[in-house]
Amino acid sequence: MDGNLIIKNASELVTCSGFAAKRGRAMSELGIIADGAVVIEQGQISRIGPTTEVMTELNASGKDLSPFETIDAFGKAVLPGFIDSHTHLVFGGYRAEEYAWRLKGDSYMDILHRGGGILSTVTATRRASREELTEAGLKRLASMLAFGVTTVEGKSGYGLDRETEIKQLEVMAELNRLHPMDVVPTFMGAHAVLPEYKGREEAYIDFMLKEVVPEVASRRLAEFCDVFCEQNVFSIAQSRRLLTRAAESGLKSKLHADEIVHLGGAELAAEIGAVSADHLLHASDGGLRAMAEAGVVATLLPVTAFSLREPYARGRFMIDAGGAVALATDFNPGSCFSESIPLVAALAALYMNLSSEEVVTALTLNAAAALGRAQAIGSLDPGKQGDVVILENPSYRFIPYHLGVSTVEKVIKRGTLAFDKCRQGERPC
């Protein structure tokens, strides 16, 4: 029966046990159980432990085991489902042409400032119907699921007007209904400045606060408010005003911070107690320390740095400073057209100097914390949602080691098999 599952004989049950972000050294603690088992009942984890103990207990409990499916994970590592806590997954059109310009030396920001980049996706997204956006969204979710992602965050921000911002958020609600994966929506109306608002960014923030945020909040179309806090986009003062006012309406704060230049986004995130600050390529030591102290999750997006040929964010420094780091893809049609979790893991390990253990924590429990959901997902703890990945390899160490290639064999969402490489005819299992 759906939602009832026993996974046993896992070479490693990587529990990532915890109910809040792990900071600093604690990021290396994965709570591994050798030869482990996990029991999921009605979509929720009910037991974890060594296989012999779990099975003995189950049998002694007198519980009717007939509704349970069983998966033998002998020789395979079992982990919590990955959480992609930063994406821009609902958009119209693509920007392959712009990528070609960037290969010839054009900069990402120059393209944006001459009306391309995010603004060209805005035009395409305004034109796209709900059905087109939903259909494209479902395909993207299917690809993410195959990488082991069981919860994904998605941002609006390709509308920059009331109607299209709401349309994007409604499409995310629809995707959440149609697809087994959980989609966590973020309102990002402050993603770029339209030409008609150039030099009048304050008026644009006023418009968003008066005309869009109240509807987004009252209809619960988003859980977070995000802003592109960047030179020549939205300033620190403008970002502070938007996020503080949106928080009064119930939207929790996130920031695209210090991505292209050092503006002080990390400091602002600490000051206002944002749930996460993301990118942080150019964040200052002081800003990162302030974030660590304030418990703001640092969400790092290594594939964006790779794609923009920018220096990587200083993940090692952040963890050594006692911070909580999460990793995500930043999947979007411009700065990072990739939903590849294996690429995120490999780049974080090789160029941000994270250990394999830290990579796993950053993709699970800390990513859950970046979405304010560490109580419900991100680890294999009794009471949490039954979201699980089974690798084709015996250890979590294969995740950053198999460069750019997915090690995920099966994905379970709320106790039900949602993806199985073995059934795709891709490989014998």
Crossing angle of helices 236-248 and 265-272, in 10° steps, is 30
Which of 18, 137 has the CB closer to ligand NIG?
A: 137
The reply to whether 334 sits near ligand NIG by the rule CB under 6 A is: yes
Place of tokens 């418009």: 207
- Nearest-approach distance from CB 313 to ligand NIG, in angstroms: 12
- Nearest-approach distance from CB 332 to ligand NIG, in angstroms: 4
Q: Determine the straight-line distance between the first and last CA of the chain, rounded to whole angstroms.
A: 23
Q: How many CA atoms lie within 13 A of 234 on its CB side?
A: 28
Each residue 78-107 as x (binds ligand NIG by CB under 6 A) or -, in order, gives ----------x-------------------
In 3-state terms, what secondary structure has residue 118? helix
Which partner in Fe ion, ligand NIG, none is near 151 (CB below 5 to 8 A by kind)? none
**DSSP assignments along 139-195, one per residue:** HHHHHHHHTTEEEEEEE--S--SHHHHHHHHHHHHHHHHHSSSEEEEEEEEESS--G
The reply to whether 259 sits near Fe ion by the rule CB under 5 A is: no
Q: Binding segment for ligand NIG among 43-51, 99-107, 114-122, 161-169 (CB under 6 A)? A: 114-122
Q: Where are the beta strands (DSSP E) in 223-304?
A: 224-229, 252-257, 276-279, 297-300
- Nearest-approach distance from CB 210 to Fe ion, in angstroms: 25
- Nearest-approach distance from CB 256 to ligand NIG, in angstroms: 5
Place of tokens 């604690």: 26
Which of 62, 105 has the CB closer to ligand NIG?
A: 105
**121, 176, 239, 407: residue in contact with ligand NIG (rule CB under 6 A):** 121
- Nearest-approach distance from CB 377 to ligand NIG, in angstroms: 23
Window 212 to 271, contacts with ligand NIG (CB under 6 A): 228, 256, 259
- Nearest-approach distance from CB 331 to Fe ion, in angstroms: 9
Q: 4: which residues sit within 8 A by CB, 6+ positions away?
A: 40, 41, 42, 67, 68, 69, 415
Which of 33, 305 has the CB closer to Fe ion?
A: 305
Please give the Cα distance from 292 to 399 (Å, whole number): 26
**12, 259, 330, 409: residue in contact with Fe ion (rule CB under 5 A):** 330
Q: Which residues bind Fe ion (CB under 5 A)?
A: 330
